[in-house]
Amino acid sequence: MSNPESILANSDKMKVYIKHNKYIKMELKTIIAIIIIIAALFATMTLVASEPDTLQLEEILVKGKAFGNITKSNISGNIINMENHHDGGAMFLNQVGFGVEKRGNYGMEPVLRGFKYSQLNVLIDGGVHTTNACPNRMDPAISQVSMEEIEKIEVIKGPYSVRYGQSFGGIINIVNRKPDRNEQKAVIGAFDAGYQSNGGNFFSNLFVQGVKGKFDFSLNAGYKDYGNYKSGSGQKIASSFTRSGYALKFGFNPKENQRLQLSWRQSKAEDVLYAGLPMDADMDKSSILSLDYAALQLTPTISSFKLKLYGSYVDHLMSNTNRPAYKDSQAISPVNATVFGGRTEFGISAGISNMLFAGVDFKHIGKDGHRDRLVFKSTCTGQIFDPPKAFVDKTWQDSRHNDLGLFFENKYQITQNLIWTLGVRSDFISYSINDPENSFNEVYNNNITPESRIDISATASLSWYLPKNLNFYFAAARASRAPELAELFINHLSIGLDAYEYLGNPNLKSEVNYQTDLRVEKRVGDLLVFADVFYSYITDYISASVDSTIPRMYLPCMNPKFTKKFTNIDKVFLTGFETGIDYTITPGLVYNLGVSFTYGQNVSWNEPLAEITPVTLVSSIMWKSEKLTARFNGRAVGKQDRVSLSFAEGTTPGFAVFDFYAAYKLFKMLEMNISVKNLANKNYVEHLSRAYKAMDTESLYYEPGRSFSFGLKVAF
């Protein structure tokens, strides 16, 4: 339907978008000014080095036996580059213990042992936080970093570190590539590009670094254009998107024991189709600025000092332009999210066997935006409106979340083979809602500002290294998670797995997780065998339940008739295991096998927890020589019939898929990459993928069928 007065006309779209994002740009200017001032102060500092070392600004875990962590694992950049996934969340598909939630082919999110969203603490470079602007999470934090920029991903399974914010179910730290100061050339770089058959997809990336004296810089820039793919049965799946982005890093080492680094990155996704959601993303633009300062061996006691400041903002524009409902009701939603904060930490050495990390961090999250609707025809009555009726729905109600944290984490080597780690954290949390909707106010009798709270978290672990390469690890923790803004303030929007409208609850309590892990490792020659068993008991678990006193607000004639309100559930638990082997068959030939299983139960409601990844087996065999690297992956996923009826969760059958990857150095500067994904052209669906919503075709969200990929990489 064409209407010159429509708020969805392209020019008017941008006017609405610009108007409602002016304040966020003002906040960004303030953030930049603060960071520049502090950068100037710290650039003038001169601290005498007692012991030269390499400063690792992006690491969150100190390497070495004395500071081992029971559930730390790494996803290496080599594996990330070889698998060449199109999206950040997809990187976790072949990782033991993970599942991936999919709403579209862009913006997927990892799920670890049943923990997801803000239950997982997702960091960039050891402390930078960002967040989604879209209430349906079209733009999760992990989508705002280019995969080609990533050097590795560090994972802590469980709430066993208190140093990086509230960590309820685990930590995912994205460590990005930084300039290599050991490189002999002043300037080096690489450019790669390629094509993928299923969808007619194009991808490219450029990396350049320069080092001169005490200064260094790096640039990473990429572009992707992906089309709609076909499933194994030949069904065309709405999944297209384009993405572009770049990251700049400037570093300065005033002394051998000091480093100052300024990082700036931007990404932009356009024309993103979300088959699992009621709207699509016309544009999603994120910007992240961070400043790092680190110094080592300041005194015999103060072994390290780190300071990190950051700011991020996300501009997000979504609409229903490509949906069947557009002819009756046109909708556009410009929303935005701002995050700024920082952390400072001292490493205090008390002898050669004890290290204390103490510090403070702060994080501010602000979200705002609205949904504009122009209704031409009533879906319920069929009445035609001439002129059309205009409505404005407040999405985030201009809400804010502040978290000031204080932490202490001590690592003590009791004996040569026994390490004890003890940590405690206190978070001072406050909220505000500055532009509430009248209907939201009425539900809660004008009492809509959550009470400030103090959340306490604590953890303890033992790492025991026995003779004959037998290692035991045990950890226990009490972790808290304060409600996120969607759980507190969302107002009658369909953001869940089911068809209900969801209503925030400003009276929510913080979740509390009591978790234990026991891990055993045994190495016999070139064979490593491991097993990890965990149990998590959660009180005040945040979910949503139907409230029959609150009717549906939008399209009241349709089912379901009532609204789901976020609420605390008294008792739930999660338990499961990961086990597997790593076997070096011969030099250059490595085999990996891992099996993971999670069982989740809502004790209070006497039903399974929703969206739990089925039992999963991942396996790979990789050959690496001077010129050739080849990898064959297999993943087998069981059926999931333990589903939540209260979330209308459907069962899914099991499946097995296989992929092949290879990289061959044609010349010193030229490398060829090929891959075949889903070799058997399997037609399958992941359990955590959302079903189609408001599309011309209603179906499950099937994964891509067989796809061939070819790429070239030129180094210079």
Position 642, amino acid: R
CATH of the structural domain 10-715, one choice from 3.40.50.300, 2.40.170.20, 3.10.180.10, 1.20.1440.130 = 2.40.170.20
Residue 8 scores a pLDDT above 70:
no
Residue 271 scores a pLDDT above 80:
yes
Task: Give bridge partners of residue 347 from the DSSP assignment.
Answer: 304, 357
Distance separating alpha carbons of residues 546 and 563, to the nearest angstrom = 6
* pLDDT reported for residue 699: 85
610-660: per-residue pLDDT in tens? 999 999 999 999 999 999 999 999 999 999 999 999 998 999 999 999 999
Q: Which residues contact 395 (CB under 8 A, 6 or more apart)?
A: 135, 333, 335, 368, 369, 370, 371, 490, 491, 493
| 676 HSE (CA, 13 A, CB side) | 8
Residue 246 scores a pLDDT above 70:
yes
Q: What is the pTM of this model?
A: 0.90
Q: How confident is the model at residue 195 (pLDDT cuts 50, 70, 90)?
A: very high
Residue 697 scores a pLDDT above 90:
no
- According to the 3-state scheme, what is the secondary structure of 161-214? CCECECCCCEEEEEEECCCCCCCCCCEEEEEEEEEECCCCEEEEEEEEEEEECC
Q: How confident is the model at residue 352 (pLDDT cuts 50, 70, 90)?
A: confident
Domain extents in the chain: 10-715
Position 207, amino acid: F
The lowest-confidence range among 229-238, 399-408, 606-615, 693-702 is 693-702
For residue 111, CA distances in Å to 93, 119, 623, 689 come to 10, 9, 29, 12
For residue 168, CA distances in Å to 156, 175, 367, 402, 510 come to 11, 20, 22, 17, 11
Q: Which residues contact 62 (CB under 8 A, 6 or more apart)?
A: 355
- According to the 3-state scheme, what is the secondary structure of 263-332? EEEEEEEEEECCCCCCCEEEEEEEEEEEEEEEEECCCCCEEEEEEEEEEEEEEEEEECCCCHHHHCEEEE
Count Cβ atoms below 10 Å from residue 699 Cβ, excluding itself. 13
Residue 174 scores a pLDDT above 60:
yes
For residue 282, CA distances in Å to 30, 104, 477 come to 28, 13, 42
Residue 169 scores a pLDDT above 60:
yes
What are phi and psi for residue 430, nearest 5 degrees? -140, 160
* pLDDT reported for residue 34: 41
Averaged over 193-203, what is the pLDDT?
97
Residue for token digits 């961090």?
A: 361
* Among candidate residues 682, 630, 677, 676, the one with its CA nearest the CA of residue 656: 682
Tokens of 601: 């139960």
Residue 159 scores a pLDDT above 60:
yes
Residue 364 scores a pLDDT above 90:
yes
453-466 vs 470-481, strand pairing mode:
antiparallel
Q: Which residues contact 365 (CB under 8 A, 6 or more apart)?
A: 131, 337, 338, 339, 400, 401, 402, 485
490-530: per-residue pLDDT in tens? 999 999 888 899 999 999 999 999 999 999 999 999 999 99
* pLDDT reported for residue 387: 94
Tokens of 192: 């790669």
CA 293-296-297 angle, 5° bins? 145
* Among candidate residues 190, 188, 187, 227, the one with its CA nearest the CA of residue 205: 190
* pLDDT reported for residue 665: 95
* pLDDT reported for residue 234: 96
Residue 63 scores a pLDDT above 50:
no
* pLDDT reported for residue 60: 53
What are phi and psi for residue 49, nearest 5 degrees? -90, 130
* pLDDT reported for residue 41: 38
Q: Which residues contact 260 (CB under 8 A, 6 or more apart)?
A: 39, 42, 43, 251, 252, 253, 254, 291, 292, 293
* pLDDT reported for residue 698: 79
* pLDDT reported for residue 69: 54
Q: What is the mean pLDDT of the chain?
A: 89
Distance separating alpha carbons of residues 56 and 51, to the nearest angstrom = 15
Distance separating alpha carbons of residues 470 and 235, to the nearest angstrom = 50
